[in-house]
Amino acid sequence: MRIIALVKYVPDSGDEVGFEADLSLGRVGPSSRLSELDEYAVEQALRLRTELAGATLTVLSVGPAEAESALRKALQMGADDAVLVTDEAIAGSDVFGTATVLSAAIRSLEGGLVVAGMSSTDAGLGVVPALLADSLCWPLLSQAAAVSVEAGLAKIARVDETGSRVVEAALPAVVSVTDQSGEPRYPSFKDVLAAKKKSVATLTLADLGVDASAVGVGSARVEVLAVGRNPDRAAGRVIVDVDGSSVDEIVDFLAAATK
Amino acid sequence: MSKVVIIGGGIIGATTAYALLGKGITDITILERDTVGSGGTGKTAGIIRCHYGVTSICALALYSLDFFENAKELIGTDIEFEQVGYLVGIGAENLEPFRASLANQRSIGVETEEITPAAAKELWPTANVDDFATFCLEPRGGYGDGYATVQGLAAYLRTQGVAIKQGAKVAELIAAEGKVSGVKLVNGEIVEADVVVVAAGAWSVPLLAPLGIDLPITPQFVQEVVIDPAMELGTPPVFSDLVSMQYVHLRGPELLFGNSDGSSVTPITDPDVYPNHASNEAIERTAEKAINRFPGIEDPGVSTTTTGQVDSTPDNNAIISATDISGLFVAAGMSGHGFKISPGVGRLMADIIVEGESTIPNVKASDFRLSRFAEGDLLLSPYPYVGAVGIR
Ligand SMILES: Cc1cc2nc3c(=O)[nH]c(=O)nc-3n(C[C@H](O)[C@H](O)[C@H](O)COP(=O)(O)OP(=O)(O)OC[C@H]3O[C@@H](n4cnc5c(N)ncnc54)[C@H](O)[C@@H]3O)c2cc1C
């Protein structure tokens, strides 16, 4: 079975946020990288690949040419191969466009299990796994804190504020994993050197048989009207303690703030 | 009494203030745009050694050792100097410059001795030493902690009345009729001074340019890889491997790897804009070199990477100099090896300000003058190594 982990190339959280002319989020900052939340997806996919006899792991990304470095990082972590779907016509796609491209790629790669992160670290919408499952007509097991696969069934533990529940679905399926699913591994030097010999395959929309008019800024259902900076936070208030007086002041402050 | 303003709260600004105090100058203000140690100093690998071909630099490093070794008594804080020794291994092609450099180092008092590959292997049992012609060991070398050192110094300077202003970014220098009179901060505040020392690394360039002073400093991006060896390594010396062109030292239980052939150093245009992690290619290069050199480390992995920016000059050596403007001095362009010589650089800067010449044995102040670049009289090692960056 081919496991496919989805990875996104994003600006680092320390980079200044930039926007393209069409107000879409800039992807190529000085420290752009494999999204940290997607490292959890790669980690779980690597573990499942090892556990499941005959499984292979492909990492898949839709993005600009620079996104190759995110795929290379996933190869260094131990993925078997990597596919980048890149095409001028994809630029400015919304989540629906991204899911359309991903599902075409997953079909053409004949994936049997898709593992995604819980959300991207830049746009942060977290809906791509659901749209993708819908587009593939596969079940979705989202927000997994733990995932296992046995006898053609994927099983996850989903933990949220209401409690913990176990959900399972027959493969093929889409699973998204949270940052509680297990720390991503350090690349070992052996894997780093093995990755050097692997190549990143590049696909275009034409290769996938996706009509360019179905994606990109033109067909986006989400339209960014304006972007702006949050106002600077006002200066904090300094409470000066005179022989314990600050306790009452802090209590009063908290009482007022939580009213 | 003269009023001194130092721009830059890195190790060079701090050691300059320290040395000025030693000369009885107490009215000192350090202006730091961010926080103390937030520049190159907080990112340094911190390697300390005297292995230099240029006599003046070797002597600055030797002078500096006294500070690193005695910091606890001198400034009252532990600066976390790990004196594990410094080991250099070279191939046959570098035998001649290596031995000539060692002889020169010894002639001014550096403790360093040539040792055999077999002896080096005892210090680094995990290493393959077969392709080295010879080694030298400098027992007083090791590695320090740039951040701890500059913080320790800053705490001491405050007790001596030095004003350290953080979040104080200098917008421009104020000079008229060939004489400096102070600086203006970005918030418009003016700080008056008789003497201004610019110790702001690559950021010194735009401060001096409006006065017609051209500092030939290029910011360069550097990358280092921290490795989890997944085994106990003891306390081996810092290892400068001039066959594979890499340097290695322990940092806690991990190993820090840097590249010495210049391939991981790239010029950048803005000293504040560079990646915060090493490239996949830099990681690959490190993995290749490390696996070849350390076959005894069975399953090493990348634990993290660090990056930084260094302020390189055309001869990879510092500018410690007066300028054509009276009262205005520069200590910048450390070119990626300023930590180990910083107590010496601070002292030399103070010497130039107060005495007009060096008072450190074997250090010629004129070697570091700014005008050497325009004159084409670069400060280069008489014993250059084949294949290595010229900072030895
Ligand atoms: C990754 C790395 C590894 C290194 N390894 C070694 C090593 O092993 N051994 C060694 O000897 N050296 C090493 N170095 C070099 C050494 O760390 C530096 O040469 C040294 O720290 C430089 O000190 P500095 O005070 O000149 O510069 P910095 O520490 O950069 O200080 C300059 C300060 O000026 C401030 N500043 C800038 N503009 C303004 C302004 N307009 N107004 C006010 N303040 C301003 C900055 O915020 C900064 O704090 C390394 C450097 C790096 C980056």
Cβ pair B275:A31 closer than 8 A: yes
Per domain, the residue ranges of chain B are: 4-48+146-215+315-375, 82-141+218-312
Burial B140-160 (b: 16+ CB within 10 A, else e): bbbbbbbbbbbbbbbebbeee
Closest C-alpha to A9, from A58, A66, A59: A66
Cβ pair B277:A192 closer than 8 A: no
Could you say which of B273, B291, B299 has the minimum Cβ distance to residue A30? B273
Query: Under a CB-based contact definition with an 8 Å cutoff, are residues A15 and A150 in contact?
Result: no
Cα atoms in the Cβ-side hemisphere of radius 13 Å centred on B155: 13
Query: Under a CB-based contact definition with an 8 Å cutoff, are residues A84 and A103 in contact?
Result: no
In B, which residues are within 8 Å of A71 by CB distance? none
SS3 content of chain A, % helix, strand, coil (to 5): 35, 25, 40
Ligand 1 pocket residue status of B41, Cβ below 6 Å = yes
Structural element, H or E, at residue B280: helix B280-293
Residue B25 distance to chain A (closest CA, Å): 36
- The CATH fold assigned to B82-141+218-312 is D-Amino Acid Oxidase; Chain A, domain 2 (3.30.9)
A227 has a pLDDT exceeding 90: no
Cβ pair A30:B277 closer than 8 A: no
Residue B59 distance to chain A (closest CA, Å): 39
In A, which residues are within 8 Å of B303 by CB distance? 186
Query: Under a CB-based contact definition with an 8 Å cutoff, are residues B308 and B331 in contact?
Result: no
Measured between CA atoms, the residue of chain A closest to residue B226 is A186
Q: What is the mean pLDDT of chain B?
A: 96
In B, which residues are within 8 Å of A192 by CB distance? 283-284, 287, 302
Place of tokens 């400093």: B217
Report how far apart the first and last C-alpha atoms of chain A are (Å, whole number): 55
pLDDT at B1: 57
Closest C-alpha to B307, from B224, B212, B218, B211: B224
Confidence class of residue A144 from pLDDT cuts 50, 70 and 90?
Answer: very high
Ligand 1 atom 51, closest CA = B44
Ligand 1 pocket residue status of B4, Cβ below 6 Å = no
pLDDT at A18: 79
Q: What is the C-alpha to C-alpha distance for residues A76 and A97, in angstroms, rounded to an integer?
A: 29
Instruction: Give tens-digit pLDDT for A72-104.
Output: 999 999 999 999 999 999 988 999 999 999 999
Q: What is the C-alpha to C-alpha distance for residues B163 and B169, in angstroms, rounded to an integer?
A: 15
Q: Is residue A173 part of a domain?
A: yes
DSSP label at B275? -
Ligand 1 pocket residue status of B11, Cβ below 6 Å = yes
Q: What range does the domain containing A45 cover?
A: 2-214
Residue B345 distance to chain A (closest CA, Å): 33
Cα B138 to ligand 1 centre (Å): 25
Confidence class of residue A129 from pLDDT cuts 50, 70 and 90?
Answer: very high
Ligand 1 pocket residue status of B201, Cβ below 6 Å = yes
- Report the relative pairing of strands B328-332 and B195-198 from DSSP bridges: parallel
**So what's the ipTM on this one?**
0.80
Q: Is residue A127 part of a domain?
A: yes
Q: For residue B134, what are the β-bridge partners?
A: B90
User: Candidates 3.30.360.10, 3.40.50.720, 3.50.50.60, 3.90.650.10; correct CATH number of B4-48+146-215+315-375?
Assistant: 3.50.50.60
Q: Is residue A259 part of a domain?
A: no
Cβ pair A195:B302 closer than 8 A: no
B296-to-B87, B291, B354 alpha-carbon distances in Å? 18, 9, 53
Count of Cβ atoms closer than 10 Å to residue B261 Cβ:
15
Contacts of B103 (CB under 8 A, 6+ apart): none
Count of Cβ atoms closer than 10 Å to residue B360 Cβ:
17
pTM reported for the whole predicted model:
0.90
Place of tokens 């996938």: A208
Cβ pair B287:A192 closer than 8 A: yes
User: Low-confidence residues of chain B, pLDDT below 50?
Assistant: none
Residue B309 distance to chain A (closest CA, Å): 13
Ligand 1 pocket residue status of B145, Cβ below 6 Å = no
| Total number of domains in chain A | 1
Count of A–B CB contacts within 8 Å?
49
- Strand ordering across the sheet containing A56-62: A163-170, A153-160, A140-150, A173-177, A113-117, A2-6, A56-62, A81-85, A200-203
Q: For residue B302, what are the β-bridge partners?
A: B227
Tokens coding A182: 């297990």
Contacts of B102 (CB under 8 A, 6+ apart): B112, B114, B136
Residue B277 distance to chain A (closest CA, Å): 7
Residue B225 distance to chain A (closest CA, Å): 11
Structural element, H or E, at residue B345: helix B342-354
Ligand 1 pocket residue status of B33, Cβ below 6 Å = yes
Q: What is the C-alpha to C-alpha distance for residues A204 and A227, in angstroms, rounded to an integer?
A: 30
pLDDT at A86: 97
Closest C-alpha to A144, from A112, A181, A173: A181
How big is the CA angle at B260 (ends B255 and B265), to the nearest 5 degrees?
Answer: 100
Cβ pair A193:B302 closer than 8 A: no
In B, which residues are within 8 Å of A30 by CB distance? 273-276
CATH number for the domain that contains residue A121:
3.40.50.620
Count of Cβ atoms closer than 10 Å to residue A224 Cβ:
15
Could you say which of B275, B280, B300 has the minimum Cβ distance to residue A189? B300
Could you say which of A31, A73, A187 has the minimum Cβ distance to residue B301? A187
Ligand 1 pocket residue status of B172, Cβ below 6 Å = no
B15-to-A219, B9, B25, B127 alpha-carbon distances in Å? 61, 10, 13, 37
In B, which residues are within 8 Å of A187 by CB distance? 283, 301-302
Cα B311 to ligand 1 centre (Å): 8
A224 has a pLDDT exceeding 90: no
- Which pairs count as long-range contacts for B134-137, CB under 8 Å and 24+ apart, including other chains? B134/B89, B134/B90, B134/B95, B134/B98, B135/B87, B135/B88, B135/B89, B135/B90, B136/B51, B136/B87, B136/B88, B136/B98, B136/B102, B136/B112, B137/B85, B137/B86, B137/B87, B137/B112, B137/B113, B137/B237
Instruction: Give tens-digit pLDDT for A26-73.
Output: 778 888 999 999 999 999 999 999 999 999 999 999 999 999 999 999
Closest C-alpha to A117, from A109, A126, A107: A126
Ligand 1 pocket residue status of B340, Cβ below 6 Å = yes
Measured between CA atoms, the residue of chain B closest to residue A69 is B280
Cβ pair B287:A73 closer than 8 A: no
> Averaged over A214-219, what is the pLDDT?
89
Cα B109 from chain centroid? Answer: 21
Ligand 1 pocket residue status of B344, Cβ below 6 Å = no
Closest C-alpha to B68, from B142, B8, B172: B142
Query: Radius of gyration over alpha carbons of chain B, in Å?
Result: 21
A188-to-A114, A195, B128 alpha-carbon distances in Å? 24, 11, 20
Query: Under a CB-based contact definition with an 8 Å cutoff, are residues A100 and A135 in contact?
Result: yes
Q: For residue A158, what are the β-bridge partners?
A: A144, A165
pLDDT at A158: 94
In B, which residues are within 8 Å of A188 by CB distance? 299-302
Place of tokens 């997607």: A38
